């Protein structure tokens, strides 16, 4: 953990974006956890948040087969 600023916002963004994409609640919370964990890996409130491309890549790697 480098900076905790933005962790809660990142979690909320992850959950809300997943729910807007009609993912189920468990998947939404998993996304929220991942986005929040990314937020604490750099200084600042938004610098650590993933881009859409990074999110798409992460989703492809974690999708069930």
Tokens for 64, please give them. 């069930």
DSSP class of 43 = S
Distance between CA 50 and CA 24 in Å, rounded?
21
The yes-or-no answer on residue 9 being catalytic is: yes
Tokens for 41, please give them. 């890996």
Catalytic residue, chosen from 3, 9, 24, 45, is 9
Residues labelled catalytic? 9
């Amino acid at each position: 953990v480098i900076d905790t600023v933005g962790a809660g916002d990142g979690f909320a963004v992850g959950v809300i974006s997943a729910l807007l994409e009609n993912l189920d609640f468990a998947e939404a919370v998993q996304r929220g956890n991942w986005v929040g964990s990314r937020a604490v890996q750099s200084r600042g409130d938004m610098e650590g948040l993933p881009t859409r491309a990074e999110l798409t890549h992460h989703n492809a790697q974690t999708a069930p087969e």
